[in-house]
Amino acid sequence: MNNLEIVRNTYTGTAEENAARLAACLAENVIWTEAKGFPYAGTYIGFDAIVANVFKRLATEWIDYKVTIEGCIADGDTVAAYGTYSGTYKLTNRYFEARVVHLWRLKGGKVISMEQFVDSQMVNNAIYG
């Protein structure tokens, strides 16, 4: 599988399938950065930290939170995936949509970093009004 296929594969199945595929393609000390201003902002090292600080929160704080990827662009060991986040925040029952880009870097078939770029204001509007 080439880098573009590796990244696309993390978006194409059910949440459970995607989590398993993501875990399999991450380097042990992957660096995962959620954008400043985003509710889960920060840099997390390793799969367990990513799950605890991002994915568990998304799964418990939102209704039908998802990313819809419209396309991916590859340049060597870098892949950009772009699309839209959407979901409803449970505590406020407010729905949002926000544009997003994930910038992936790979080495030897493993993801060594992912950086998120997102319109955080749209997400924060759903949480805080």
Q: Where in the chain are the domains?
A: 3-128
Q: What are the tokens at 111?
A: 């993801």
Check: CATH 3.10.450.50 for 3-128?
A: yes
Burial class (CB in 10 A: 0-12, 13-18, 19+), 60: exposed
Order of strands, sheet of 42-45, starting from the edge strand that comes earlier in the sequence? 42-45, 26-34, 110-118, 94-107, 78-89, 62-75
What is the predicted pLDDT for the residue at 97?
Answer: 98
- Name the pTM for this structure: 0.95
Q: 35 and 41 in contact (C-beta within 8 Å)?
A: yes
In this predicted structure, the answer to whether residue 34 has a pLDDT above a threshold of 90 is yes
Tens digits of residue pLDDT in 35-83: 999 999 999 999 999 999 999 999 999 999 999 999 999 999 999 999 9
| pLDDT class of 101 with cuts at 50, 70, 90 | very high
In this predicted structure, the answer to whether residue 129 has a pLDDT above a threshold of 90 is no
Non-local (6+) Cβ contacts of 93 within 8 A are none
| pLDDT class of 114 with cuts at 50, 70, 90 | very high
In this predicted structure, the answer to whether residue 15 has a pLDDT above a threshold of 90 is no
> Mapping DSSP to helix (H, G, I), strand (E, B) and coil, where does residue 36 land?
coil
